[in-house]
Structure 1
Amino acid sequence: MTPPTNSAPPDALAPPQDDGPSGNQSGRRDRVGVSLIILSAIAFSAKAIFVKLAYADTAGAAARIDPVTLLTMRMLLALPFFAVIAWWSSRGARLLDMRDWRTMVVIGLMGYYGASLLDFWGLLYISAALERLILFLNPTLVVLISAFALGYRIVRRDVFALVASYAGIALVFAHDLSFNPGKVWLGSSLVLLSALLYAGYLVGAGQMIKRVGATRFAAYASIISTVAITLHFFITRELTALTGQSSQVWKLAGWMAVVSTVLPVVMMAEGMRRVGSSNAAMMGSIGPIATIFMGAIFLGEPITGVQLAGATLVMAGVLAISLKKAKP
């Protein structure tokens, strides 16, 4: 039995796996696909930068942004786009029955509501670079969940991947721990829970994606999660928590909704259609490195040899799993 694997973060949804285009397809098609995958990975990675900038912008302000409010802003601003995608992808498609909807709701809440909220909370306490590396562990977590829950047999390649990935995380974690021990433990735990929740979502989502299609599933799951986080907001917050935010925070939320939510889902789907899932997994590994450098440029986070070494180990482990099903 082969577990579902994908290196996308909790705020992304993987299109169906495929073996990629045939060798006689044009170089231009491949170049466009490569560009889309790389841009998608960088755009997904920029989410942590937008979140950290929003937190920094409201530090000390009367209406300081919190994870629930910021995630609500992001999802509400992305909602119109996903509504259009849901309508477009549903044309001529079969209707979902009650069992489909129940499964869709449960899985959607795990990935886009629960995992994203834990991730936003974790970013209050840890660097963008460490957050992205922890989320990048998703394929290894899927393997572990599949082994315990579905009887998947772990092979030698999986062992290498697990050892390399978690050794890399340990390096970066120890590096950040020396600066702020208490907060790094808390933030890393929250983001790891986010990654675990999203890995569980990936394990459960495979059959639904086959039944309804990845684009339609992504749109429906996003809409369901938008309803959930909006209800969460109005139950626990006052409306002024939204209306009292500065125009700069709304701009950051808007950029996050478009650049790090809607566009990367579309670009990843089209890129995988052009170059195949195995190539996409390899090129998408640029995400953690992109986050490290964006964190240095926009947030002033230091770049060290330990971080780069840890990132290299994590990417090597994740690629070992993500490319397992690669075909010549």
Structure 2
Amino acid sequence: MEVSRIRYWLGVLLVFLAAFCFALKGVLIKLAYQYQIDALSLLTLRLLFALPFYIGIAVYQRKREPVAPLTLREWLWLFFLGITGYYLASYFNFIGLVYISASLERILLFTYPTFVLMMNAVSRKRGISRLQWGALALTYLGILIAFAPHIQFGNQHNVLLGAFWVILSGLVYAVYLVGSDSMIARVGSQRFTCYALIAATIPVFIHYLIRNGFALLNYPAPVYGLTTIMAVFVTVVPTFMIAEGIKRIGSANASLVASIGPVFTIVLASGLLGEKITALQLLGTAFVLAGVSLIGWKGKKM
């Protein structure tokens, strides 16, 4: 009994630490943008620096726990999911952060659990319950409350454009999550994560070469430091912590613990970037977290 309790709380700690790492992403991106680097270059450096870790882990997993070879159709599906989750969703998110604050980005990005709920309702032909509709309403009300001051006072340039890209990122990421269930069951969560990121890195690098040529060594030194931190502590480490945490406490409980992420981002953005925290932003964040938590809790019951 004591061992299972320790296992559970270790899982909670892993998810909590992963949420903190993920919360650093927007702050690090905003810091990197101070050095006149564009979204595509930043994403390319992040994936390239993370790539050796994922290749090494994939090779280790393959030797440790061999699985039946994937069919061509399965490889293509995995490749599609990798592009969706780690290329398109990330790229849209990086573009959005050009225009809006890190704290607002994290709040808007938390629309993705609502998209997952609605996609599952359509794909599995299940109706959305009254409680779930209430959770959706609570989430979007919170987003409107947190978002309204930025429009009213016009204190952020192109805030609507930035919001569009971040919400689109959440929608695309939801497609990735909904579509990944079968592949995760087929190859395991850690192996799937490695394959998906490796698959995404190829088109990102090609996109970069077409747009910018061979200019990856022309950025200021702090950019490489920030992208290295982003690759290791915002990509590699938290993806495996969250995978292990889910294995120990379940996806529903993990989603509840991870919902602390926007709070971390708000605090970090205030301390490191000097972003102003407003009462409406805090109230909107509370509403969003309540709605997302309710969706996660209800998902456990279904």
Matches within 5 A, 1:277-296: 277-296=251-270
Q: How far 1:149 moved relative to its partner?
A: 4.4
Q: Secondary structure at the match of 2:98?
A: coil
- Corresponding residue pairs, total: 298
Pairing partner for 2:40 from 68, 84, 108: 68
Q: Note if 1:47 corresponds to 2:25.
A: yes
Return the TM-score normalized by structure 1: 0.87
Which runs of 5 or more structure 2 residues have no equivalent in the other structure? none
Matches within 5 A, 1:107-256: 107-177=81-151, 178-180=153-155, 183-240=158-215, 242-256=216-230
Q: How far 1:305 moved relative to its partner?
A: 1.1
Matches within 5 A, 1:257-268: 257-268=231-242
Pairing partner for 1:83 from 42, 55, 58: 55
Counterpart residue type for residue 207 of structure 1: S
Sequence identity (%): 42
In structure 1, distance between residues paired with 2:6 and 2:214: 49
CA contact (8 A) 2:100 2:157 kept: no
In structure 2, distance between residues paired with 1:66 and 1:325: 38
CA contact (8 A) 2:28 2:230 kept: yes
Which runs of 5 or more structure 1 residues have no equivalent in the other structure? 1-22, 59-63
Q: Secondary structure at the match of 1:323?
A: helix
In structure 2, distance between residues paired with 1:182 and 1:154: 37
In structure 1, distance between residues paired with 2:6 and 2:81: 37
In structure 2, distance between residues paired with 1:149 and 1:26: 35
CA contact (8 A) 2:49 2:231 kept: yes
In structure 2, distance between residues paired with 1:325 and 1:25: 27
In structure 1, distance between residues paired with 2:76 and 2:9: 40
Q: Which residue of 1 aligns with 2:250?
A: 276
Q: Secondary structure at the match of 2:300?
A: coil
Return the TM-score normalized by structure 2: 0.94
Q: Which residue of 2 aligns with 1:15?
A: none
Q: Which residue of 1 aligns with 2:276?
A: 302
